[in-house]
Amino acid sequence: MMEIVRMIVVLSLITGTAGFVLSGLKVWTSPIIESQVLTYVQGPAIKQVFSDMANDPIADRKKFPKPGGGPEDQVIVFPILKDGKLKAVALEGAGKGYGGDVNVIVGVDTSTDTVVGISITTHKETPGIGSRVSEPGFTKQFRGRTLAQAKLKKEGGAIDAISGATFSSIGASEAVKQVTSWYTALKDSIKTTWQ
């Protein structure tokens, strides 16, 4: 009986220590991971959408409460400024594709409420089929569309899905719809922040 109690105590100490170490590593590495994502994933995607930026949207970014989310949920808004005034914003959304989430940076012109463009940041779609959502043939369809038009034709929008990659097209479109809904809900706060 004493050996069982000793074994339980030792296993409890090992699992407790392992849990403590893992939680510490998560806290320690989270800012490093966020910095890497900003620098090597989101930054290049924003530059692909906005080639004429006068500011650094990564450095000027702000967090806003996510519409419909909990008190801890936030959305990052990347401002595009020209002559010190807000010209557009970029936000990243996600939609469920065939292989997992399709993450998309969406640029929105704040004066006309139209989509400036999109750029796929990450996805796990099938190479050569679903991965075609990141090609210009698909992404260029979003340029200049109103927020209502920036969805697939089968949903009443103006975007053609990629043949053979329906789920991937739906995932990208869902990500854009997510961003446009966030933008619509946060528009007044965004414009007030960068007046």
pLDDT in tens, 21-71: 999 999 999 999 988 998 999 999 999 999 888 899 999 999 999 998 888
Question: Does the structure show a pLDDT above 80 at 195?
Answer: no
Task: For residue 74, report the phi and psi dihedrals to the nearest 5 degrees.
Answer: -135, 155
Going by pLDDT thresholds of 50, 70 and 90, the confidence category of residue 2 is confident
Global pTM value: 0.86
Residues 6+ apart with CB under 8 A from 102: 94, 95, 96, 120, 122, 123, 125, 133, 168, 171, 172, 174, 175
